Amino acid sequence: MEFSLYHNPRCKKSREALQFLEEKGIRFKTVKYLDQKLDPKALAAILSKINLKPSEILRKNELLWKKDFSSKNLNEDQILQLLVENPKLIERPIVTGPESGVLARPLENLVDFLKGN
C-alpha cells in the first residue's frame, strides 16, 4: 500500500511525520500542497478519507485567518473553498492511504493509524 503525505517542509510536525515514515520504511509520496495546490474535489476527497470537516483542519491561529476571516460566519463549503485558495490555512501533516487517512498531528495519530493499516 502506498501512502501520500501532504507536507509543508517549513512545518516541524510535518517534517517529523516525513522522518517517521522514512525511518519505518513506509512507501509514500510527498505532496507539497503549498506548491501543488489542491482543487475543491481533491481536498474534499482527503477530508472524506480522514473523516474530518473543513473547519476541523483549519489553522485558526494563523494571522491570515484571524485578520481576514475569523469574524465571518462561514459554512463548511465556504471554508473548503477558503482552504483551497489559502492552503497555508490547512492543518498538517495529513497522511492518506487508498481508503482512509489521518491528520498526523500529533505524531501519535499517525502511529495509531499505521497500526490499523
Place of cell 517549513: 10
Given the residues 2, 4, 11, 90, the one annotated as active site: 11
Cα–Cα distance measured from residue 91 to residue 81, given in angstroms and rounded to the nearest whole number: 15
Is the four-CA dihedral 31, 33, 39, 44 of positive or negative sign? positive
Cα–Cα distance measured from residue 73 to residue 91, given in angstroms and rounded to the nearest whole number: 20
Cα–Cα distance measured from residue 13 to residue 82, given in angstroms and rounded to the nearest whole number: 22
How far are the Cα atoms of 10, 19, 82, 111 from residue 64, in angstroms, in the given order? 17, 29, 11, 31
Residue 11 known to be catalytic: yes
Catalytically active residues are 11
